[in-house]
Structure 1
Amino acid sequence: MIRKQLTKRNKNYSKWYNEIVVRSGLAEFSGVRGFMIIKPYGISIWEIIKKKLDKMFKETGHKNVYFPLLIPKSFFSKEKQHIKSFSKECAVVTHCKLKKKINQEELIIDSQSKLKEELIIRPTSESIIWKTYRRWIQSYRDLPILFNQWGNAVRWEMRTRLFLRTSEFLWQEGHTAHSTKKEAIEETEKILNIYTNFSKNFMAIPVLQGIKPYMDKFSGSETTYCIEALMQDGKALQIGTSHFLGQNFSKAFDVRFTNFNGKKEYVWSTSWGISTRLIGGLVMSHSDDHGLIIPPKIAPIQIVIIPIYKNKKELSKISDIIEKIQNVLEKKGISVQYDNREIFTPGWKFHEYEMKGIPIRISIGLYEVKHEKVEIFRRDTYEKMYVSWNCLKDFIPELLDKIQKNIYKKALQRTEECTFISDHYDDFKKKINTPGGFIISHWDGTINTVKKIQEETEATIRCIPIHNKIEIGKCIYSGNPSNQRVIFAKSY
């Protein structure tokens, strides 16, 4: 079987990305525009992400809940900025029944089944959750509420791309309620640090922590915290967000509690989330012209073992050794797949697992059996080495750790090399296009300046660094006074 090579990253980055997602078996588009099918391999990565993050949330006192997918339109209308922002993206249910047309394979809407109130398919859950919190919260004794929800959401996207921007996506959304402003802000920052820790130490993606400028904050929030990562083409990707909602939703839904002093006050709140967009970020951060590269800590298969043989007699002898090795490694908590399929050649399998980004490939033939060793291949560096069977128990865990660190190191080095300070607009325009990256520049604080820069360069403000220092200067575009630098980049 002849396999067509991937499009090179430097030739057509977008096409390269789409080819990797499809050919590695992560996902593909469905028959519904903007909706994707996440295939078993993609789901297995998402399940690991979910498992790791869920553990982190529960360790900090959060509990999982589930709220309905359909939200009455009247709930959405409560918070004015919220409905204004999401109105163009909402999918709406208007009828509750379908009737099959006689003698035709066609479904028609029964005019008698129109809903009295339209239902919004969940783009986010603040409205239905705060309608519920109104029943649940009466006193300071009912607080804090630390809830998280794993589910899906629908936002009608005009321009879609697998994982990065789809009309339906899988995600988690946290929704917490607090008795004080201080506690709510601390919660928002705590979650941001959890996302940062996960991105760096599991996804091997370095990120910048920041605050969204006022015009880009989540609708209904007072402050939106974010983490931004730089992809290999020099564009930024928002990895996750954590929102300090203040009292906006508690006032909209009249959620008040009796405080310790017996006085009524509005609840303070947060919301936060990450989605299957993380998988898109994973692909674009680490992969190469041969396929995926997956950090060992989130790899569904950390090691694949491939037998090299000519006949079934040789396979039987090799298999006995492989099964012993597999047993030793699995007892160390390592995910191992033994591929003894006879319908594919070793070369075909090598290509398949390179495309899937399996961190380590082990090959064993009669030569290796005779010398009591195995051939090890590192996906991240393409290095090959021979290691004795007796050393694998300790060698493999150490090698997986080295691979994890190396993948992060390469991503960090790329990010540092593509982060620039710019004080002149001509220089800014040059850098934003070649090589691209994070451009640290002064901004005068006006929306007009942001619009002009975006029109001329496609760059936007990704964030205001969370630990930004006051620095007097001149706006990169207008020349007007500025007291801080912000991060500009082109983005997904």
Structure 2
Amino acid sequence: MAPGVDEEAAAIENKELPPSKPEAVKKVKPPKKDKPPQGPGKGEKGGAMKKETKLGLAVSKSEDFHEWYRLLVLEAELISTYSVSGCYVLRPWAYQLWEAIQTWFDGEIKKLGVKNAYFPMFLTKAALEKEKDHVEGFAAEVAWVTKAGSSELEEPIAIRPTSETIIYPLYSQWIRSHRDLPLKLNQWTNCVRWEFKDPRPFLRTREFLWQEGHTAFATKPEADREVRQILDLYAMIYQDLLAVPVTKGLKTEAEKFAGGLYTTTVEGFIPDTGRGIQAGTSHCLGQKFSKMFDIGFEAVDQQRQLCWQNSWGLSTRSLGIMIMVHGDDKGLRLPPRVAPTQIVIINIPNAKLSEEARTAMASKCSELEALLRQAGVRAECDLRENYSPPWKYNHWEVKGVPLRMEIGPRDMENGTVMLARRDGKAPKEPVKFDQLLLRVPQLLEEIQNSMYTSARTEYDSCIERATTLDEFKAALDRKHMVLAPWCNGLKQEDDLGKATKTAEAMGAKSLCIPFEQPELAEGTMCFYTGELAQNWTLFGRSY
């Protein structure tokens, strides 16, 4: 969960986000409180409205990716900065995206018999350190409470970096018999890992939101089955909701969850930076934790046995991955299935329009908004008169709303609207009022599919095969992932990272052993060691 960062990237990304929005992005100031908003096309004395517009982002994604991302999360009103370094406020636009993921996934795990609970965020030092291999993976990131008011605590209390050592002592109390199994609990909560190197909104923050599932079974096949069920749900979140392609696979021994038996993962990729990113993990913990915490049960034959356990988690990092994959120089591009607003309705009056006509136009916008909402479309009207239509177009483009509906005087006469797609895959489309309830859902589904298809095509184009170290390095230099025959050596993977590190970039590491494996011919040798290869493994530089 804590991949390395090369020095140059760290130098760029460690910059704290500014407390206010950049001056390079022009804004229209709202009217002063003692003056009512002016109508479209009119200034304070009836003159023409100033042609002020909200611009897109001041930095191009292709020219300076890290600065582009920094500006985007601010301009799209996803976050605000906070007085504690490495912590950020999730504004409603971001939190609604997280709620869309939460609502879908929560429904799916409940179908599997999982129930939600909540466990305290504090744990004792003794509890945290009970499982040595486990705590070593988080030791540098654990935050400690040492004082209460002016009094020093007798013993420091840790804030959870993860909850295994909080939950499992209770499982040892709750599980007594095979009748108590399976036990399947999940919690939606926050987590604290005190990052120092590279704080970045959504991707690497000192506090983040996530869900963590903790389950116990009588047999290993039951645990194995659930590991893959959860991983499939994570893949669906990315591919079906966020329109982000991922690869499902098994983590190598070097990259698996500390203290676990094995780890499965969904791995994303950011083409603009040439880096893979761990998107969600589902772990089989085996019986190591159950032995450590005495989580056992009386089997049907009255013999005492240890439970088989799993843990699995997905965090708000998922939002960062979606932003980086789909965003462009105008701002966010949101997949319709998770967009808080799927279509924004904007009226386009002009200076010559009568007050009666302007009122009728606004009324029609509100009427269409209500009809769309009744049909299950998340629609929103923007009838603000103290902002020009171009400013509003750009405002909603930065926020990534999939569809924009425009209604002007001529549209009112013709009984039509103009629909503009945020994904830019088609020109504006005129649609009759009475066809909107049919056409808007169709367009939203087209946009969802188009976004995934485009991202999938780019993702697949960024995977190369290599059978020699020279081919491997050349693919990395092209900012690609590399699929290569691998010997599965633990030390060899560490050596490979050192061998592929350059002055400009971090070394490569394994992303996963994909479940979908190309044929591995008998006698195929590892591209790095020359030993017999065990499988094809996906490598890359990573976050």
**Per the shorter chain, which TM-score range?**
over 0.9
| 2:509 counterpart (446, 450, 460) | 460
Number of the residue aligned with 1:476: 527
Most deviating of 414-423 and 291-300: 414-423
Note if contact 1:149-1:172 (Cα within 8 Å) is conserved in structure 2. yes
CA distance in 1, matches of 2:106, 2:314: 12
Tell me how far 1:336 sits from its aligned partner.
0.5
Number of the residue aligned with 1:371: 414
Instruction: Give the secondary-structure state (helix, strand or coil) at the position aligned to 2:248.
Output: strand
In structure 2, stretches of 5+ residues that fail to align are 1-26, 28-52, 502-506
Aligned counterparts, 1:286-325, within 5 A: 286-310=326-350, 312-325=355-368
Aligned counterparts, 1:34-183, within 5 A: 34-96=86-148, 98=149, 110=150, 113-158=151-196, 159-183=198-222
Instruction: Give the secondary-structure state (helix, strand or coil) at the position aligned to 1:206.
Output: coil
Number of corresponding residues: 477
Tell me how far 1:467 sits from its aligned partner.
4.1
Q: Which amino acid aligns with 2:156?
A: E
Tell me how far 1:401 sits from its aligned partner.
0.5
- Post-superposition CA distance 1:340-391 (Å, at most 9, x none): 1112111111001110110000010111000000010000126211111111
- Post-superposition CA distance 1:426-453 (Å, at most 9, x none): 222121121x222101223223332233
Q: TM-score, normalised by structure 2?
A: 0.85
Most deviating of 421-430 and 398-407: 421-430
CA distance in 2, matches of 1:5, 1:226: 33
Asked whether 1:446 is paired with 2:484, we answer no
Note if contact 1:173-1:271 (Cα within 8 Å) is conserved in structure 2. yes
| 2:307 counterpart (262, 267, 281) | 267
Instruction: Give the secondary-structure state (helix, strand or coil) at the position aligned to 2:204.
Output: coil
**Structure 1 residues 26 and 479 mapped into 2: Cα distance closer, same or farther (>3 Å)?**
same
Tell me how far 1:470 sits from its aligned partner.
4.9
Instruction: Give the secondary-structure state (helix, strand or coil) at the position aligned to 1:133.
Output: helix
- Post-superposition CA distance 1:244-291 (Å, at most 9, x none): 000111111111110111010111100000000000011011111111
CA distance in 1, matches of 2:458, 2:466: 18
| 2:325 counterpart (285, 288, 297) | 285
Aligned counterparts, 1:193-342, within 5 A: 193-233=232-272, 234-310=274-350, 312-342=355-385
CA distance in 1, matches of 2:326, 2:276: 14
Q: Which amino acid aligns with 2:165?
A: S
Whose relative contact order is higher, 1 or 2, with alpha carbons under 8 Å and at least 6 apart? 2
CA distance in 2, matches of 1:232, 1:338: 35
Following TM superposition, where does structure 1 have runs of at least 4 consecutive aligned residues deviating by more than 3 angstroms? 1-6, 311-314, 467-472
**Structure 1 residues 387 and 70 mapped into 2: Cα distance closer, same or farther (>3 Å)?**
same
Note if contact 1:6-1:290 (Cα within 8 Å) is conserved in structure 2. no
Number of the residue aligned with 2:78: 26
Note if contact 1:28-1:162 (Cα within 8 Å) is conserved in structure 2. no
| 2:476 counterpart (426, 432, 437) | 432
**Structure 1 residues 326 and 4 mapped into 2: Cα distance closer, same or farther (>3 Å)?**
closer
Tell me how far 1:324 sits from its aligned partner.
1.9
Note if contact 1:230-1:437 (Cα within 8 Å) is conserved in structure 2. no
Q: TM-score, normalised by structure 1?
A: 0.94
Note if contact 2:56-2:330 (Cα within 8 Å) is conserved in structure 1. no
Number of the residue aligned with 2:6: none
Note if contact 1:235-1:491 (Cα within 8 Å) is conserved in structure 2. yes
Instruction: Give the secondary-structure state (helix, strand or coil) at the position aligned to 1:153.
Output: strand
CA distance in 2, matches of 1:118, 1:439: 44
Tell me how far 1:480 sits from its aligned partner.
2.7
- Post-superposition CA distance 1:458-478 (Å, at most 9, x none): 221000112446544222223
Q: Which amino acid aligns with 1:127?
A: T
Q: Which amino acid aligns with 2:443?
A: L
CA RMSD, Structure 1 to Structure 2 (Å): 1.4
CA distance in 2, matches of 1:332, 1:72: 52
Identical columns (%): 36
- Post-superposition CA distance 1:108-134 (Å, at most 9, x none): xx2xx2223321101111111101111
- Post-superposition CA distance 1:121-175 (Å, at most 9, x none): 0111111110111110100111111111000000111211110011110000000
Instruction: Give the secondary-structure state (helix, strand or coil) at the position aligned to 1:482.
Output: coil
Q: Which amino acid aligns with 1:116?
A: E
